[in-house]
């Protein structure tokens, strides 16, 4: 599962939200995109998942262009987005939400097996299986949103601010779930506004501001980079190739 | 008029309006579009019963088939029509990210196109046609005269509302439809096929419209190229009263309007009965003043990514 994005440009109306971003994610990696509010991070993920149109540029998955495809087709290619705010279906049950995650799959028997496995990993979801998803707490909803994405058997998970609005203790739990999944071989591209957390959990980080990538590199290298804060707050010039 | 007879009338009209409202509510829930062409699906189904002619007494065509075959044929015709209008007039606009207002205008265009098509093929004169004569005759039950068609209408309404509920709640496609109604983009991100869900929703509205046309023609015995218009308006009002985006609300709204309409007919003094609909819609305004979001408020219209 190799994702390669080149010179991606996204407009909302006449406003450019993303202005020529290039990045890549290799199989098994956990890559974070960090940066201040309004940097274009969410737009980036939405565009990869096909939820918003791109103005120009290319998005390739294992060498094949997926840019400009409809979201349901991209889901079938093995990419799942857990959007900001989770967007679980409040008026459906937890179980129905999970089955919906498997909408791109055909074998009902396999789907039931996966549901069982997810219930083992996240027992709270089994307890609440028949409850309306809207009645779950924020942390439970986030678990449900991630579990729902897993039901697709996607190999690449795009998570937008998985810690948003959660209590610190719960955030810890969510990141534990993510690192468990990572050990099982999944690839992650995560948008995380907190630079500390981004550096903490990821292999590599892209720092984005005002629609461009300001700097990027291995998290272990960047952690000791004194200019990183300037990049985060958009004080350094953008490098044209986006490689920092 | 006896109270029980009035009650049957009220339930019958209520059931009919509830079915009308379901068709509008289902498409609105998923696409945020009011499909005014739904009225013409009903009209089209009614006219498919007869052979085109300029005559005021229609020669039956599908209307002459044995009952089960007639029902299936009319359903097939209207379902195909509904799917065709979606393909030709709505899907291409949807792909270009058209707003609900544009889709609404397109549905008006389809509506007028179909009306004028029927006007051209069958002429504009109302026609009389008698498809199920045995259903019109009243049953005499303990001194009451109750038309079989009213009982059939109430039963059909109950069966279809229940069937739709079971379909939405207990099938995969049904749950996908509910998910699409709550948050279409998220449903698509999970791999729910937008085109498929919408095509199935249109097929269901086609089925509802076909059944409505059979019930209306069986009861009234009249074809008119504008016969679907008042029904679609009532359906629209019922969905607003019930709460836009809520299917139980649409059904409730349909029953309430039908029953209130019959109640007015029975209770208003004779000289005011001609103004029945004025009272009906005044009541609609009153309800909306107190419950501007309808009786059952839906969050469907707000929450989207």
CB contact under 8 A, A99 and B172: yes
Task: Please give the structure tokens belonging to residue B219.
Answer: 């009861």
Tell me what pLDDT residue B303 has: 40
Write the DSSP assignment of A154-172 as a string of letters. -SEEEEE-TTTT--HHHHH
Nearest in space to A64 (alpha carbons), one of A79, A54, A77, A50: A77
Chain A nearest CA to B89, separation (Å): 20
Chain B nearest CA to A56, separation (Å): 17
Distance CA A149, CA A97 (A): 10
pLDDT tens-digit map of B25-65: 999 999 999 999 999 999 999 999 999 988 888 888 998 89
Tell me what pLDDT residue B225 has: 95
Q: Is A111 on the interface with B (CB under 8 A)?
A: no
Residue given tokens 């449903």 in the structure block: B187
Q: Regarding predicted confidence, which is higher, A231 or B21? A: B21
Distance CA A29, CA A204 (A): 8
Q: Which residues contact B194 (CB under 8 A, 6 or more apart)?
A: A70, A72, B94, B180, B184, B187, B188
Which of A79, A92, A103 to mutate: most B Cβ within 10 Å?
A: A103
Q: What is the DSSP letter of A143?
A: H
Q: What is the DSSP letter of A2?
A: -
Tell me what pLDDT residue B173 has: 94
Chain A nearest CA to B168, separation (Å): 11
Backbone φ, ψ for residue B248 (5° rounding): -60, -35
Residue A188 · residue A159 · CB < 8 Å: yes
* Chain B contact set for A100 (CB, 8 A): 175-176, 179, 187, 190, 192
Distance CA B250, CA B243 (A): 7
Cα B119 to chain centroid, rounded:
21
Nearest in space to B180 (alpha carbons), one of B303, B73, B18, B284: B303
Percent of chain A with pLDDT over 70: 95
Distance CA A197, CA A208 (A): 15
In this predicted structure, the answer to whether residue A241 has a pLDDT above a threshold of 50 is no
pLDDT tens-digit map of B255-271: 999 999 999 998 999 89
Nearest CA in chain A to B182: A89
CB contact under 8 A, A92 and B178: yes
What average pLDDT does range B217-241 have in this prediction? Answer: 94
In this predicted structure, the answer to whether residue B157 has a pLDDT above a threshold of 80 is yes
Tell me what pLDDT residue A236 has: 53
Task: Please give the structure tokens belonging to residue B124.
Answer: 């504009």
What average pLDDT does range A1-24 have in this prediction? Answer: 93
pTM listed for this prediction: 0.89
CB contact under 8 A, A75 and B185: no
What average pLDDT does range B240-259 have in this prediction? Answer: 92
Exposed / middle / buried, residue B171 (Cβ in 10 Å: 0-12, 13-18, 19+): exposed
Distance CA A172, CA A158 (A): 19
pLDDT level of residue A126 (50, 70, 90 thresholds): very high
Tell me what pLDDT residue B300 has: 53
Residue B130 · residue B221 · CB < 8 Å: yes
In this predicted structure, the answer to whether residue A218 has a pLDDT above a threshold of 90 is yes
User: Can you list the domains of chain B with their CATH numbers?
Assistant: 2-124+146-290 (1.10.3470)
Distance CA A175, CA B281 (A): 56
Backbone φ, ψ for residue B245 (5° rounding): 95, -10
Angle between helices B247-267 and B148-170 (to 10 degrees): 160
pLDDT tens-digit map of A41-91: 999 999 999 999 999 999 999 999 999 899 999 999 999 999 998 899 999
| Least confident residue range of A32-41, A165-174, B205-214, B290-299 | B290-299
Nearest in space to B21 (alpha carbons), one of B157, B125, B135, B128: B157
Percent of chain B with pLDDT over 70: 97
CB contact under 8 A, B303 and A76: no
Complex ipTM, two decimals? 0.88
Average pLDDT over chain B, rounded to an integer: 91
Question: Beta strands A64-65 and A79-82: pairing type?
Answer: unpaired
What average pLDDT does range B165-188 have in this prediction? Answer: 94
Tell me what pLDDT residue B1 has: 54
pLDDT level of residue A240 (50, 70, 90 thresholds): very low
CA angle A78, A81, A83 (to 5 degrees): 175
Q: Which residues contact B74 (CB under 8 A, 6 or more apart)?
A: B45, B48, B49, B62, B210, B213, B214
Residue of A50, A91, A100 lying closest to B192 (CB–CB): A100
Tell me what pLDDT residue B221 has: 92
What average pLDDT does range A215-232 have in this prediction? Answer: 82
* Chain B contact set for A87 (CB, 8 A): 183, 186, 303, 305
What average pLDDT does range B269-294 have in this prediction? Answer: 90
| Least confident residue range of B16-20, B49-53, B114-118, B206-210 | B49-53
Backbone φ, ψ for residue B198 (5° rounding): -70, -40
Task: Please give the structure tokens belonging to residue B111.
Answer: 């509506």
In this predicted structure, the answer to whether residue B163 has a pLDDT above a threshold of 70 is yes
CB contact under 8 A, B191 and A103: yes
* Chain B contact set for A76 (CB, 8 A): 191
Torsion, Cα of A141, A162, A57, A187 (10° steps): -100
pLDDT tens-digit map of B293-305: 888 876 554 444 4
pLDDT level of residue A242 (50, 70, 90 thresholds): very low
* Chain B contact set for A92 (CB, 8 A): 175, 178-179, 182
Outline where DSSP puts E strands in chain B. Answer: 127-128, 138-141, 144-147, 222-223
């Amino acid at each position: 599962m190799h994702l390669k994005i080149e010179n991606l440009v996204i407009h909302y109306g006449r406003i450019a939200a993303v202005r020529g971003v290039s990045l890549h994610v290799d199989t098994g990696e956990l890559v974070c995109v960090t940066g201040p509010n309004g940097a274009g991070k969410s737009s980036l993920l939405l565009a990869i998942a096909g939820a918003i149109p791109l103005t120009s540029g290319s998005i390739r998955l294992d060498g094949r262009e997926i840019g400009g495809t409809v979201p349901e087709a991209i889901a079938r290619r093995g990419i799942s987005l857990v959007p900001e705010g989770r967007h679980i279906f409040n008026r459906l049950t937890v179980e129905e939400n999970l089955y919906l995650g498997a909408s791109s799959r055909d074998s009902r028997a396999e789907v039931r097996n996966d549901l069982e496995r997810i219930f083992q990993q996240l027992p709270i979801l089994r307890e609440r299986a028949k409850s309306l998803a809207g009645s779950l707490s924020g942390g439970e909803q986030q678990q449900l949103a991630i579990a729902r994405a897993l039901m697709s058997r996607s190999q690449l998970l795009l998570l937008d601010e998985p810690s948003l609005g959660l209590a610190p203790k719960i955030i810890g739990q969510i990141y534990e779930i993510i690192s468990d999944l990572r050990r099982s071989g999944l690839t992650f591209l995560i948008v995380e506004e907190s630079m500390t957390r981004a550096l903490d959990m990821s292999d590599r980080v892209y720092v984005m501001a005002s629609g461009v990538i300001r700097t990027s590199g291995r998290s272990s290298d960047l952690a000791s980079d004194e200019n990183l804060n300037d990049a985060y707050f958009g004080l350094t010039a953008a490098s044209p190739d986006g490689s920092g | 008029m006896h109270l029980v007879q009035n009650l049957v009338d009220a339930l019958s009209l209520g059931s009919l309006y509830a079915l009308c409202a379901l068709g509008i509510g289902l498409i609105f829930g998923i696409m945020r579009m009011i499909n005014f062409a739904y009225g013409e699906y009903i009209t089209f189904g009614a006219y498919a019963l007869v052979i085109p002619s300029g005559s005021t007494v229609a020669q039956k065509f599908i209307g002459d088939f044995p009952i089960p075959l007639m029902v299936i044929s009319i359903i097939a015709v209207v379902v195909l029509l509904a799917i065709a209008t979606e393909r030709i007039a709505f899907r291409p606009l949807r792909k270009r990210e058209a707003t609900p207002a544009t889709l609404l205008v397109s549905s008006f265009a389809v509506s007028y196109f179909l009306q004028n098509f029927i006007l051209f093929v069958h002429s504009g004169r109302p026609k009389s046609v008698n498809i199920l004569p045995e259903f019109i005759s009243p049953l005499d039950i303990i001194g009451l005269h109750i038309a079989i068609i009213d009982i059939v209408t109430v039963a059909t309404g109950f069966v279809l509302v229940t069937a739709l509920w079971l379909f939405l709640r207990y099938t995969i496609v049904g749950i996908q439809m509910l998910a699409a109604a709550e948050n279409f983009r998220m449903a698509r991100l999970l791999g729910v096929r937008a085109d498929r869900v919408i095509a199935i929703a249109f097929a269901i509205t086609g089925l509802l419209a076909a059944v409505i046309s059979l019930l209306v023609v069986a009861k009234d015995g009249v074809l008119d190229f504008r016969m679907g218009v008042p029904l679609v308006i009532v359906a629209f009002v019922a969905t607003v009263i019930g709460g836009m985006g809520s299917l139980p609300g649409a059904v409730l709204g349909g029953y309430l309007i039908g029953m209130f309409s019959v109640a007015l007919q029975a209770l208003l003094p004779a000289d005011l009965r001609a103004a029945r609909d004025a009272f009906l819609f005044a009541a609609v305004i009153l309800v909306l003043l107190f419950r501007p979001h309808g009786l059952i408020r839906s969050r469907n219209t707000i929450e989207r990514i």
